[in-house]
Amino acid sequence: MIPLNELMGRADGWGRAMGREVFQKLLAHVESHPDQSTFRISLKGVKRADVSFCSESVVELARRFKGAKGFCLVDVATSDLEENLDAAARRVEQPLMIWDGRKARFLGLPVSPGNQEALAFVLERPQARAAEFAQTRGITIANASSKMKQLWASGFLMRRESAADTGGTEFVYQRIA
């Protein structure tokens, strides 16, 4: 867990300069944990942050590591803070996951209507394969794989390689939480 307010040094995040400063601290933390693929960023104690701060810190971190590392936000205390995070993420078409301990919701880039069912499928379980989704929905594996790949490339999911039952390689998709 990365406590954002400790990296900020105060409860309010304002402006691009402060956002860049906090981004460097976030980056140092992530780089000091090279084997970790998913990070939770706690906003506990963060009272306010403007769009510029959000854009230069948390959103930039998620954008920089899209597809390689995942970041989810926890303890988002106010709707104003959530709105500013959403605006910053939308500006660069970056999804940001908020995890409340039971379910996920996304800020920023909205999921395309054609991929909503695939995203919901993965979010309901710790991990999923395209073949599982294809079988439960009665679609081709190629179609299911394409949907999950799009979700991963857009930053909604994480994925890792695994040995397929057929002897080849397949991807296992995971929620960012």
Distance CA 28, CA 48 (A): 23
Distance CA 173, CA 112 (A): 18
Phi-psi region of 137 (alpha: psi -120 to 50; beta: other; left: phi over 0): alpha
- Angle at the Cα of 94 from the Cα atoms of 6 and 118, rounded to 5 degrees: 115
Distance CA 57, CA 8 (A): 10
Share of the chain above pLDDT 90, in %: 88
Tens-place pLDDT, residues 121-168 = 999 998 999 999 999 999 999 999 999 999 999 999 999 998 877 778
Span between the terminal Cα atoms of the chain, in Å: 11
Distance CA 26, CA 61 (A): 7
Q: pTM score > 0.85 for this model? A: yes
